[in-house]
Structure 1
Amino acid sequence: MKAHTLALLLAGTTLLPVAAHAQSADPLPATNPSPDPTTGPATATENSDGQVSNDGDIIVTAQRREQSILTVPIAISAVSGNALATKGIANSAALASAVPNLQVSSPYGNTQPNFSLRGISVANEYNSNQASPIGVYIDDIYLASRTAHGMGLFDLDRVEVLRGPQGTLFGRNTTGGAINFITKAPALSGNEGYAEAGYGNFSTYTAQAAIETTMVENQLALRISGNYAKGDGQIENVFAGGRDGNSQNTLQGRAILRMRPGDGPLDIKLKIYGGRDKGSQAAIHGLLPFRSGLGFFQTNENRLGLNRTEAYGASATIAYELSPALTFTSITSRDGGKQNLQQAADGSPLDVLDINWRSKFQQFSEEARLNYSTDRMKLVAGGFYGWDRTITDNTFNIGGALGPGVNGGFFQHYRQVRRSYAVFAQGDYNLTPQLVLTLGARYTWDRARYDDGYAFLFAGDVGGAQTPLATTVPCPGVAGTCAYNPALRFALPGRNNALTGRAALSYTTDGGVLVYASYNRGYRSGAFNGGGYTSSAGITYIQPERVDAYEVGVKGRYFDMLTLSAAGFYYNYKNQQVQDTRPGPVSFLVNAPKAEVYGAEAEARLRLSPALTLTAAAGYLHSTYKQLTLQSTNLDGNDLPFAPRFTAQGGVDITLFKNGTDGLTISPSVAYFSRQYFSPFNSENAAGTGQLNSELQQDAYAKVNLTAALTLDRFTFKAFATNLFNEKIYAYGLDLRGAGFPYNFLVPSTPRTYGGSVRVAF
């Protein structure tokens, strides 16, 4: 049986009980179940204080207060830290295997992942200065740099993925949704920790550890955790002496100090973190003559480089209970990082296109809010300020394209600074004990500047001295037509304001099933074209994206054994920000005037017995451009990139024996994705460009993973295999033929990996 057929059958089998719509007449038990280490979305787990909801459901903070996931009228998936380990999800780039209608892609491997939720993504835009349309947060702190999104996942309480625009309660630029990584914080009670070491194929060594100590019960505690991974390249490079692609070399650390003086109303969490990654670049399939005789998981590249990234920061989260009904919360953070990505982008032993992407990032944010709660009303109101800066120095070596025997390329520099101010409020009002009206609004002021911009054409070898030949920024004409002038600079301001918000009605039946309907408006601020280096004509500040989203959904528990959530949605999507390469060559950042997105998704968990649990999720997505022209080609009716029509995930947890806390559990899982395109062109080609866009897609595929965990007292022994059937998958593709290169840029995903680990809890 083919893997993708298995995926669909598994998902369908798990969702069959949905047809049994009768609700148990008995109320759910009020006792707290023990957290299940194998659970996935919408299942029992601990919240930040080590508590479990009375229903045994995962606790989320999607509306800036703690709620059971089954009572939140939002399409949300929540995956516990234990479930991440069970599913083999070690970094944020692998989240798509656990969440419906989520795609993750990148031209840089796990570095700078591009998230796509319900078809909304950065499309064919890949520059580091752009904000993600999917807001990414860690402990409610917005991460402006997309490089910081490629984090390894360790010592997490859970990950919350909110689908649909979050235009009220979440920071910035959330037209598509929000992903919130929530770390484990000290519980202020007792001492605990763990240490884990593992080994896998490709000589991969991993280690994780955490220790938590309570110095004063209920008042003062500290948790320190760390993560390490190092492994050889997973894509073989046949070039003699060449570095293999997709290697790992990651080190991360985090410390959280929690204080509650006198066990009183003040709760303070101070966090510091830091990490670095210097694995090799994602391998490239490029020039066709050098693909001859190679397997899918091989490349022939003379300059396969390293992806060096760093991220660090500190934050303070202060909550003060002013009264039983009113709490004040302040979240302050200062973060930074940098990237130095060496990308051989031709997949050949020739120096056709070698790029060095270098950027430094800094950001500061402050959010202050009040939470007011009574029996009839729940209100959140506050303000937000965010500042971030990107300083970029990129080098594009284009081999001998300047002339016979003359190597050269382009150098680019600019500084971008953005500021965002916002005020927001959202309230839930009980019209009746079962009917709730939600109204929310957010007003945002965004200000940005592109400064100190310059670029020039140079002669010189890769990594060698550069002899400037001509200024290209600022220069409005064709590259090479403006004399070199090192004093010239380009600057541009940008500003826009936006009113966004939410309105919803939700009704809870006597049996506890939640039914809701909502309207949300989302917004992504205007942007500068970070890809403009051959001419200043393409460096403009383009319009913001806007989404009007309509959604209906249902969530509930059936027969005390099945939990189910489902939603249907329709989006009116305007001004998606996409790249357009025009003769010159000049790269423009432009707006796609109009797109339409609609679809449905469902998640379910069925506990047939203490020894057998099934989980499944499925999504359908129809996302098309209603109006778009790129390179003078009409693309109306084309699919949005990274938006497969069908996705499905399924898994089974089989406990072969159980004796108290000891036991053996086997957990196979599968994730299916139908065909997706990597370009707004889909399979169309712009006239006169030499494009071959039919290459820029990935056919339907399924990835099967398998884990087995044996727990004996304090020890857990785990074995795993990911991409068990060694599916050949392209993770990303970019048109380079239209830019004048004789090939397209395609990034293969990693092959089968397997290994084991041992973990001791103390």
Structure 2
Amino acid sequence: MSLTLALLLAGQAATAPAAQTTPVPPDAAAVDAQVPDAEAGRAGPAIADAGGDIVVTARRRNETIQRVPIAMSVIGGTALAETGANTVGRLTQLQPSLQFYSTNPRNSAANIRGLGAPFGLTNDGIEQGVGIYVDQVYNSRIAAATFDFTDVDRVEILRGPQGTLYGKNTTAGAINVTSRAPSFSPEARGEITLGNLDYVQAKASVSGPLVDDKVAIRLSASVTSRKGTIYNVTSREYVNSQDNLSLRSRILWRAAPNLDLTLSGDYNYQNPDCCAQIYARVGPTQRPANRQYAALAAAFGYAPPSTDAFDRITDLDTKLRAKQELGGLSLLGEWDLGAGTLTSVTAWRFWNWNPSNDRDFTGLPITSVSANPSQQRQYSQELRFANNGTNRIDYVGGLFLFHQTIDTQGLQVQGSAASRWLLNPGASVPAGAAGCSTPTTNACNPAVLNGLRSENEIGFKNTSVAAFGKLTWHVTDRFSVQPGVRVNYDKKDGSYVSTVTTGTGSTNLNADQRGVLAPQSYKPSFDDWNLSGDLTLAYDLSDDLHAYATYARSFKSGGINLSGLPLDAANNPILSASTVKPETVNHYELGLKSQFLDRRATVNLAAFWTEIGDYQATVTNNQIGVLRGYLANAEKVRVKGIEIDAAFRPVSQLNLYANAAYTDAKYARFVDAPCPPELSGGSASPANCDISGQILPGTSKWAFSYGGEYNIPATVFGTTGQLYAGVDGSYRSKFSSNPSRSISTDIDGYALTNFRLGFRKEGSWNLFGWLRNAFDTDYFELLATQSGSTGLVVGQPGDPRTYGLTLSKTF
């Protein structure tokens, strides 16, 4: 807190110049006076509400979005509520360049333009490529993105490398969430939503002065609950439910005419019965026929309750839990020094994770326990100075310090079916369901793996220090040159200790047991300096037509493997795989931002080409029983594409928007990648495969979002307001759901459509009914393969059709 306290003491002694006015806080919403509705983008994620400008703080100063030479979108708080985009994951239906995947809060990833985090289970030892910022505080845990937005003013989505303006270097983009600021005018907001699946969501906030015009407070809360979408016949419960609680407070103290201090605190709790992945299909592998899924299931007389995932039935025999607590404190200091504003952001955050998973994805006792409870603490300090502008020069410069610790206690226990499911019966045992009628091999003896237990103690320390700056030289009134630079130092230290015992408590393991759960102990470390930068040339072709060209050289810090290492032929960990190299990013972008038809139409274009050397990929561990992958470097990845963001208001009562993204994301060179499931599991299966030229997982080549809203003046029960109807649609084409593309794990393209119909009185209340996934489209969010190359493919079905009613009131 020392830097912020120094700001406080200095500000108390400072006297503002006579002509100086109270500075506008950078996180306060500001919209051009031509826009009557301060909630920009009501009809959806409009880049600008046609007819006016949106003022954003993407470059740490107030600017209109059309003049910021960055590909970005802004979604206002009202649009978030009316479109049902209450989480980062839901934003993907509005912003086609954004992807979000989550099998549970810990195993989540946000990608922009196909880049950000490796596809697969989370590995704590690497950075996120997409930064999540809430009120200028960097959130290192992607789990923060799984909570409901609470009292949000707007969300900014920035595409492309960021780091010369922001605290943490991010190579793919940033998501900036800005909460509503405390108000000196008393106000209150309330919102209640009821829907099918026993859906209930309540939100409330209150704000007003505590001490005249010196201190103001804002308190907010959000509660969400919903029955699960999948029925578990074993537990007789619905799973994949929702159970969220979010509390937030902000206190603004105007300590001096030129100094504002904002203390923020938040607490978030989540405890749903989640997260089930269920039978989707079976695909061929190279395992012998008697070791593939059909024969193994027959050997136990087992069949899933349904082979159609969209029957939404499962029989998982392990209790599911996705319990987490997340929160923290931050102190934001903004001191106007006349020549510029000095900003200090001090933050402490925590995350506690307590899960329970069924990682064999069946009702059989193969893996009876798989959980990685984790506790994270992070501390960050950012100090930034932005000048108030001259005729020719604008600049921002800053320092950033970040420290993170993570402690994880992993546990995996094998069940009575594990031996037959995971081990090779051998040539002496006949093929088929009767192959284990007598226990002649370890595979036919349940006691070999039953109770086999791995207890993992995992520690991680991550320290990052950076200096960054961005300068804008207005060469002429229309042409500017904008160089930026960042110097970064990263240090990561880890510890991984896995203790494995048999069902009888012995540490004396045979080869088959070590092949499934291997004792490991290693201490990886990584540290490195890097220099990155960018250069943007921007030209105003007219007052409403702006062009820019950007080159960025960026880095994502190297990492360490903290999920166990692959084994050599003697079942010993391969220590050379304990670290991964930094990513090197070369990014090129051309953009054009335009408004026309008296600014009733806005069309923004961006074309980009990104090359990444030593791309950090999650690869599959080919050991038979290992559930988690590990990290490796792909030599080169190339992503190119074109994006169009458009908003149109042909008449005052009609808003339309359409966004499109073409993204061609490929492994340019990856010669030692893991092989897809159909080539894995056999004695002659290749140790690795050349997947150069294949598409990156999780990225659709084509993605669209579109929608609009039409309103008419109306009087209902004596109240004059607007009757309105809206639609929001999205589409994404086929994408791969496996790190190495597989014929079994491609997800077909799908389209989703949402409708709403309501009545509102501006600035007072809003009542609307909504219908989401209106045509009850069946689609998978993710597909994954069962460990051990059995051929079982499991999926996470997307939400079915949902409907409900929302009432909100502003006082």
Same fold (TM > 0.5):
yes
- Return the offset for 1:119: 1.2
Equivalent residue in structure 1 for 2:703, among 638, 647, 664? 647
1:436 matched to 2:432: no
Q: Which residue of 2 aligns with 1:10?
A: none
CA shift in 2, pair 1:59/1:661, >3 Å:
farther
Q: Which residue of 2 aligns with 1:152?
A: 148
Q: Which residue of 2 aligns with 1:261?
A: 255
Q: Which residue of 1 aligns with 2:591?
A: 553
8 Å CA contact 2:306, 2:314 repeated in 1: no
TM alignment of 1:48-67, pairs within 5 A: 56-67=52-63
Deviation sequence 1:366-404 (CA, Å, 0-9, x none): 000111121211100010000011111122233232452
8 Å CA contact 2:191, 2:204 repeated in 1: yes
8 Å CA contact 1:107, 1:733 repeated in 2: no
Q: Which residue of 2 aligns with 1:331?
A: 345
1:196 matched to 2:191: yes
Q: Which residue of 2 aligns with 1:210?
A: 205
- Return the offset for 1:206: 1.0
- Return the offset for 1:680: 3.1
Matched residue type, 2:709: D
TM alignment of 1:162-241, pairs within 5 A: 162-187=158-183, 189-237=184-232, 239-241=233-235
CA shift in 2, pair 1:94/1:29, >3 Å:
closer
8 Å CA contact 1:253, 1:274 repeated in 2: yes
CA shift in 2, pair 1:483/1:525, >3 Å:
closer
1:370 matched to 2:385: yes
- Residue 344 of structure 1 aligns to a residue whose secondary structure is coil
Q: Which residue of 1 aligns with 2:446?
A: 405
1:418 matched to 2:435: no
Q: Which residue of 1 aligns with 2:683?
A: none
1:577 matched to 2:616: yes
8 Å CA contact 2:108, 2:122 repeated in 1: no
Q: Which residue of 2 aligns with 1:700?
A: 749
CA shift in 2, pair 1:161/1:29, >3 Å:
closer
Q: Which residue of 2 aligns with 1:281?
A: 274
Q: Which residue of 2 aligns with 1:537?
A: 574
- Residue 796 of structure 2 aligns to a residue whose secondary structure is strand
Q: Which residue of 1 aligns with 2:645?
A: 603
**Worse-matched range after superposition: 341-350 or 193-202:** 341-350
- Residue 78 of structure 2 aligns to a residue whose secondary structure is helix
Matched residue type, 2:109: N
TM alignment of 1:458-607, pairs within 5 A: 458-460=501-503, 467=505, 469=507, 480=514, 489-532=521-564, 536-537=573-574, 540-560=578-598, 561-584=600-623, 587-607=629-649
Q: Which residue of 2 aligns with 1:357?
A: 372
Q: Which has the larger radius of gyration?
A: 2
Q: Which residue of 2 aligns with 1:666?
A: 725
8 Å CA contact 1:703, 1:724 repeated in 2: yes
Matched residue type, 2:731: Y
Distance in 1, Cα, partners of 2:39 & 2:713: 15
4+ residue runs over 6 A deviation: 481-485
CA shift in 2, pair 1:298/1:512, >3 Å:
same
CA shift in 2, pair 1:29/1:545, >3 Å:
closer
Q: Which residue of 2 aligns with 1:752?
A: 801
CA shift in 2, pair 1:431/1:393, >3 Å:
same
Deviation sequence 1:286-343 (CA, Å, 0-9, x none): 48641545451222222240100110100001010111x3110000000001111211
- Residue 705 of structure 1 aligns to a residue whose secondary structure is strand
8 Å CA contact 1:410, 1:533 repeated in 2: no
Deviation sequence 1:71-114 (CA, Å, 0-9, x none): 10001111111111121112121110111211111122x66531
CA shift in 2, pair 1:722/1:655, >3 Å:
same
Q: How many residues align?
A: 699
Distance in 1, Cα, partners of 2:222 & 2:156: 21
Q: Which residue of 1 aligns with 2:778?
A: 728
1:123 matched to 2:118: yes
Q: Which runs of 5+ in 1 are unaligned?
A: 1-27, 46-53, 461-465, 684-693
CA shift in 2, pair 1:482/1:582, >3 Å:
closer
Matched residue type, 1:455: S
Deviation sequence 1:539-569 (CA, Å, 0-9, x none): 5111011211100001121112101111000
Distance in 1, Cα, partners of 2:505 & 2:352: 27
CA shift in 2, pair 1:614/1:484, >3 Å:
closer
Distance in 1, Cα, partners of 2:333 & 2:201: 34
Q: Which residue of 2 aligns with 1:33?
A: 36
- Return the offset for 1:742: 4.6
Q: Which residue of 2 aligns with 1:48?
A: none
Distance in 2, Cα, partners of 1:746 & 1:295: 7
- Residue 84 of structure 1 aligns to a residue whose secondary structure is helix
Distance in 2, Cα, partners of 1:499 & 1:85: 41
Matched residue type, 1:537: I
Matched residue type, 2:657: T
- Return the offset for 1:583: 4.4
Matched residue type, 2:265: I
8 Å CA contact 1:147, 1:339 repeated in 2: no
CA shift in 2, pair 1:242/1:364, >3 Å:
same
- Return the offset for 1:469: 3.0
**Worse-matched range after superposition: 718-727 or 313-322:** 718-727
Distance in 2, Cα, partners of 1:416 & 1:266: 38
CA shift in 2, pair 1:31/1:726, >3 Å:
closer
Deviation sequence 1:663-721 (CA, Å, 0-9, x none): 121111101000010123212xxxxxxxxxx2212111011111223125733212112
What's the % identity of the aligned pairs?
A: 26
Deviation sequence 1:583-633 (CA, Å, 0-9, x none): 445744110110111100011110011221111100001111111121311
CA shift in 2, pair 1:240/1:643, >3 Å:
closer
- Residue 85 of structure 1 aligns to a residue whose secondary structure is helix
Distance in 2, Cα, partners of 1:601 & 1:450: 40
Equivalent residue in structure 1 for 2:406, among 390, 401, 407? 390
8 Å CA contact 1:564, 1:605 repeated in 2: yes
Distance in 2, Cα, partners of 1:507 & 1:98: 29
Distance in 1, Cα, partners of 2:518 & 2:45: 58
8 Å CA contact 1:167, 1:502 repeated in 2: no
- Return the offset for 1:657: 3.0
8 Å CA contact 2:325, 2:351 repeated in 1: yes
- Return the offset for 1:526: 1.1
Distance in 2, Cα, partners of 1:222 & 1:471: 61
Distance in 2, Cα, partners of 1:483 & 1:78: 47
TM alignment of 1:614-653, pairs within 5 A: 614-628=656-670, 629-631=672-674, 632-653=688-709
- Return the offset for 1:409: 4.1
Q: Which runs of 5+ in 2 are unaligned?
A: 1-30, 283-302, 420-441, 568-572, 675-687
Q: Which residue of 2 aligns with 1:11?
A: none
CA shift in 2, pair 1:509/1:537, >3 Å:
same
- Return the offset for 1:126: 1.6
Matched residue type, 1:639: I
